[in-house]
Amino acid sequence: MSEARRRRAKSEHLLHRLAIRTNPDLDLLPESAELEPRSAEEIGKRALVLHAVVAYAQLAAGGGPSPALRGPFLKWFERERLWPAATEAERALFAAEAPEADRLARASWRIEAVRALLFALGLAPALGIPDGRSDFVALAEVLPDPSAAAEPFLDALERRPLTEILDAMDLALCVHWALVASDRTGEPPPPRIEPAVALERHHALAWTLGLAPAWD
């Protein structure tokens, strides 16, 4: 049995135990040797940017956006030379005078992508089933504060073995299929699955493995 087939069997076994249906015809992921994954530094910069996005969104949602609130974030991005790692949508969020409440709410869900990226760097435990929101405070303890120097953090990073990231990606892919299938048929989401968490993890892991050409 191939590496990819063994991986799928493991994902299906876990999901069947939870009464979550799977698709026997769902494409397998590439073998690890076929991938061109992002480097540990790229993953680390993406995690730092998203951490700042989440922190800003939560602060702005709580007290309202203002130049005084945005200022420290803007200075940090500039000083740490992280603007090139930010997407157009992320730059627009920080540039907006008054981001809409739903935009801030969507940005706060990026904490789930942060968790997946930290997992890929060996800085967070196995992801498992996406059944609840992550603890922002706990994840923030792993990352430098959006005011501290980023270089020491980035220099120390190592990517987790690709086989382990692929295991997580395969489970995320199967869960994503189950969500899409239930949506198409008008059924409730699969049991124990938080859809927003599942989608953020799926996106972050696909990007990490080079399966998605760009973040946005």
Q: Whose structure tokens read 């270089």?
A: 151
Q: Where are the domains of the chain?
A: 3-28+35-208
Statement: residue 64 has pLDDT above 80: no
What would the mean pLDDT of 20-45 be, rounded to a whole number? 96
Under the banding of pLDDT at 50, 70 and 90, the label for residue 26 is: very high
Q: How far is CA 176 from CA 164, 206, 209, in A?
A: 18, 12, 16
Q: What are 134-162's pLDDT values in tens digits?
A: 999 999 899 998 888 999 999 999 999 99
| pTM for this prediction | 0.95
In 3-state terms, what secondary structure has residue 50?
helix
Q: At what angle do helices 88-95 and 67-79 cross, to 10 degrees?
A: 140
What would the mean pLDDT of 70-92 be, rounded to a whole number? 95
In 3-state terms, what secondary structure has residue 28?
coil
What would the mean pLDDT of 18-33 be, rounded to a whole number? 95
Q: Whose structure tokens read 């951490």?
A: 51
